Amino acid sequence: MNGLFKQREPLLALMVVALVLAVGVGAPVFLSAASLANLVTDSTLLVMLALAQMLVIVTRGVDLSVASNLALSGMVAAMLASRHPELPLALPVLAACAVGLALGLVNGWLVGTLALPPIVITLGSMSVYRGLVFVLSGGTWVSAHQMPANFVAFPLTRLLGMPNLVWIAAAVTLAMLFIARHTRFGRDLYAIGNAPHCAGTIGIPTARRLLWTYGLSGLVAGLCGYLWVARYAVAYTEVAYGFEFTVIAACVIGGVSIAGGVGSVTGALLGALFLTVIGNALPVLQVSPFWQSALTGLVILAAVLVNARGNGKRSRQILPLHKNALEQRAH
């Protein structure tokens, strides 16, 4: 079984492919080119949010406010575009990203600088941000006929045969891969998750790293806020309600440890794809919505059990590395 855990990501990829083929046997339409293309497009928002959430969870944190951030940022973009249709598309998009970034930085400052529990802070900000959506909109909807045509059309406009949503998700994936694997910022996040106290001892600016990790999560949520309301051509107070739990579930299924220090971009990506396949396949198979929730919950519990057994075999790397460095200095 140890070898199985070490091959977690290839195994998950095979499970995604097997699930797609299994559903295709029962409903051949699921394997059509149009259906598979729609599957990829449907996964994009979850993929982007899961990748940003992965960096947060790696630090032993969690961002429960991500869906509320998305809803508020999307409402800002929709209201700005509907009231000023003459504005270039870039301005509502930048406004959504700026709002998302600001909200994320608020979380990061409270968690990093004040050292408050992430789950408590983001649970509170989740309610605050969701309430601000209602205050800003007055409880009204911004519908398709109120939004400029280019605002609504952009996410699904095709470039080289693929929707812009797919290209944006690919760009975010590459950016997260670069941050996690090839930057000091990314390496510091894993060190913080492995041993927070030692990370501070060896000079890692933990407060600053957490500030910008939550800021990055907020920035991605802001971008997804625009993409969500534009793709579905509606903005209202309940947009993406409860979606934060799906995002966290994607990370857990992808092997990201809630205990911190363990997780990868590939794993979070595959976890998001896995949940998207389930979400698209069960209605095709005419499974009751109640069973859909139950089956998704069972998958998450199974992933937690696998993570618990797999992570129990792994050693925390920062402690022995730090110890070796001290021994070398002593000699």
Range of the domain at 234: 31-241
Is 118 contained in some domain?
A: yes
Is 130 contained in some domain?
A: yes
N residues, the chain: 331
Integer Cα distance of 224 and 226 in angstroms: 5
**Per-residue pLDDT tens over the stretch 166-222:** 999 999 999 999 999 999 999 999 999 998 888 888 889 999 999 999 999 999 999
pTM higher than the cut 0.75: yes
pLDDT at 132 over 90: yes
Is 253 contained in some domain?
A: no
**Per-residue pLDDT tens over the stretch 290-305:** 777 787 778 777 777 7
Instruction: Choose the weakest-confidence range: 7-21, 27-41, 58-72, 266-280.
Output: 7-21
Rounded mean pLDDT of the chain?
Answer: 88
**Per-residue pLDDT tens over the stretch 1-23:** 444 445 678 888 888 898 899 88
Please state the rounded mean pLDDT for residues 138-161. 94
pLDDT at 159 over 80: yes
Instruction: Choose the weakest-confidence range: 3-12, 112-121, 227-236.
Output: 3-12
Please state the rounded mean pLDDT for residues 71-75. 97
Work out the percent of the chain whose per-residue pLDDT is above 70: 89
User: Tell me, what amino acid is at 12?
Assistant: L
The pLDDT, as a whole number, for residue 15 is 86
CB atoms inside a 10 Å sphere around CB 102: 15
Is 274 contained in some domain?
A: no
Is 4 contained in some domain?
A: no
Name the domain count of the chain. 1
Listed in order, strand segments (DSSP E) in 173-330 are 234-235
Which three-class secondary structure state does DSSP give residue 142?
strand
Query: Please, are residues 218 and 67 in contact by the beta-carbon 8 Å criterion?
Result: no
pLDDT at 82 over 70: yes
Please state the rounded mean pLDDT for residues 127-134. 96
- In angstroms, the first-to-last Cα distance of the chain is 40
Is 10 contained in some domain?
A: no
DSSP code per residue over 4-16: HHHTHHHHHHHHH
